[in-house]
């Protein structure tokens, strides 16, 4: 089955082989060397000079850790919605007894900057959260604007970069992101099960002054341990082997080239989708560069498209979530997805649409791909 979903993604053979290495003690010099190499490479990917820590857990574990470690019960936090994962921050904060100010955003759209600034100015919020790249809707939000607001109003900026770090331009330090979060199984193209966070000095001060709200997900423990070149608890040694290899592959490709590849794939996908007569969910100027969200035509069903792609062509794309279930499908083009992979999924989609009696001209999507590839020098 070919994975073209927003994680887990296809990983290289070298990464697959690396996780099969014999286990080693996680308190040994050999493992310490691998761990610290991962930390340095993660700083490169995060574009940060801040410390980075690794949690054995999903990306949500890092979101949980960020809230639990910085926000006290009853303290205000602003959570920008607009999708399943942006709204997850609010759910986590509520579970810890924080006073949550939710910024409601229509799914498929981005936040109104003037309205957001009004909400911030009228609050006493300690922090603001944002899901940078909202995979449930295919929207890329303006993180630099949120960072600017956070600095002006002296708030912590906690950002979910789970599906943008390593695939799109995430300027952690330049944007003033105090806690930036990512996961192993997305753009970094490693196996699922690891979460990584960068922690600024401002965030560390808040963490140290906050009453601990969690034990395993207490970032103070992780920060102190990484200063000693280790982890506070037993990590997934094999997953860190895989992360180590995946990060070396990012270094080899080069972050700038990797970002360009993701953006070219996104442009090509959008052009192909339009050429097929389908409609994108978000407007193009706010569209994600790691996943494309597409409306299902009214006379077709999710099974007509996703079901047939899976059963006939062994291609797995993602469906809609929550309020968008059955209304959209999503093509992931993150991690190791290449240009030939995109040719395969668009070609298969053309045939599936034709079989479903949708008015499509065979070859139109592939021609649109080729035009973008030619223009971008692929």
φ and ψ of 152, to 5 deg: -65, -35
Q: Do domains 12-253 and 255-375 have the same CATH topology?
A: no
> Which strand (E) or helix (H) includes residue 268?
helix 255-275
Read off the tokens for 276.
Answer: 């097929």
What architecture (CATH level 2) is domain 255-375? Alpha-Beta Complex (3.90)
How open is the CA angle 240-246-251, to the nearest 5 degrees? 125
What DSSP assignment string belongs to 190-243? Answer: --SSEEEEEE-HHHHHHHHTSPP--STT-HHHHHHHHHTTS-SS---HHHHHHH
Domain boundaries, the chain: 12-253, 255-375
pLDDT at residue 348 tops 90: yes
pLDDT at residue 193 tops 90: yes
pLDDT in tens, 36-94: 999 999 999 999 999 999 999 999 999 999 999 999 999 999 999 999 999 999 999 99
Give me the mean pLDDT over the 143-165 stretch. 98
| Residue 297 vs residues 268, 320, 323, 329, 344: alpha-carbon distances, Å | 20, 13, 16, 10, 21
Residues 6+ apart with CB under 8 A from 67: 77, 89, 92, 93, 96, 98, 129, 158
Rounded to two decimals, the pTM is: 0.97
pLDDT at residue 33 tops 90: yes
Give me the mean pLDDT over the 247-262 stretch. 98
pLDDT at residue 261 tops 90: yes
Give me the mean pLDDT over the 231-248 stretch. 98
Q: In the prediction, which pLDDT does 343 show? A: 97
pLDDT at residue 212 tops 90: no
CA distance 19 to 43: 22
Residues 6+ apart with CB under 8 A from 95: none
For residue 242, cis peptide bond before it (omega within 30 degrees of 0): no
The residue that leads in pLDDT, 213 or 279, is 279
Q: In the prediction, which pLDDT does 39 show? A: 98
Give me the mean pLDDT over the 256-265 stretch. 98
- Residue 276 near residue 349, CB atoms below 8 Å: yes
φ and ψ of 76, to 5 deg: -80, 140
CATH topology of domain 12-253: 3.40.640
pLDDT in tens, 309-335: 999 999 999 999 999 999 999 999 999
Which of these, 240, 209, 202, lies nearest to 54 by C-alpha position?
A: 240
Computed from CA positions of residues 64, 65, 67, 69, in that sequence, does the dihedral angle turn out positive or negative?
Answer: positive
Q: In the prediction, which pLDDT does 378 show? A: 87
């Amino acid at each position: 089955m070919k994975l073209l979903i927003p994680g887990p993604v296809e990983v290289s053979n070298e990464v697959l082989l690396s996780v099969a290495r014999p286990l080693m003690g996680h308190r040994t010099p050999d493992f310490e060397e691998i761990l610290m190499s991962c930390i340095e490479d993660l700083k490169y990917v995060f574009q940060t000079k801040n410390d980075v820590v690794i949690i054995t857990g999903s990306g949500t574990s890092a979101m949980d850790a960020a809230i639990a470690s910085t926000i006290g019960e009853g303290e205000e936090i602003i959570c920008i919605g607009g999708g399943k994962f942006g709204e997850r921050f609010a759910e986590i904060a509520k579970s810890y007894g924080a006073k949550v100010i939710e910024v409601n955003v229509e799914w498929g759209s981005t936040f109104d900057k003037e309205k957001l600034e009004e909400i911030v100015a009228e609050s006493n919020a300690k922090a603001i959260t944002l899901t940078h790249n909202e995979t449930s809707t295919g929207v890329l939000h303006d993180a630099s604007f949120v960072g600017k607001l956070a600095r002006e109003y002296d708030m912590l900026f906690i950002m979910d970069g789970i599906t943008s770090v390593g695939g799109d331009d995430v300027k952690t330090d330049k944007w003033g992101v105090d806690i930036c979060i990512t996961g192993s199984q997305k753009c970094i193209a490693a196996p699922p099960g690891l979460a990584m966070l960068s922690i600024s000095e401002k965030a560390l001060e808040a963490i140290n002054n906050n009453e601990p709200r969690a034990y395993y997900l207490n970032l103070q423990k992780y920060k102190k341990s990484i200063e000693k070149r280790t982890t506070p608890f037993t990590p997934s040694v094999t997953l860190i082997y895989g992360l180590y290899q995946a990060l070396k592959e990012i270094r080899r490709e080069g972050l700038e080239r990797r970002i360009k590849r993701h953006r070219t794939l996104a442009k090509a996908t959008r052009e192909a989708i339009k050429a097929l007569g389908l409609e994108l969910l978000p407007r193009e100027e706010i569209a994600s560069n790691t996943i494309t969200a597409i409306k299902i035509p009214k006379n077709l069903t999710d099974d007509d498209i996703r079901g047939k792609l899976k059963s006939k062509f062994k291609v797995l794309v993602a469906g809609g979530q929550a309020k968008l279930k059955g209304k959209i499908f999503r093509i992931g083009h993150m991690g190791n997805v290449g240009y030939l992979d995109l040719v395969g999924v668009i070609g298969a989609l053309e045939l599936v649409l034709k079989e479903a009696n949708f008015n499509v001209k065979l070859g139109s999507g592939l021609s649109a791909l080729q035009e973008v590839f030619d223009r971008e020098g692929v």
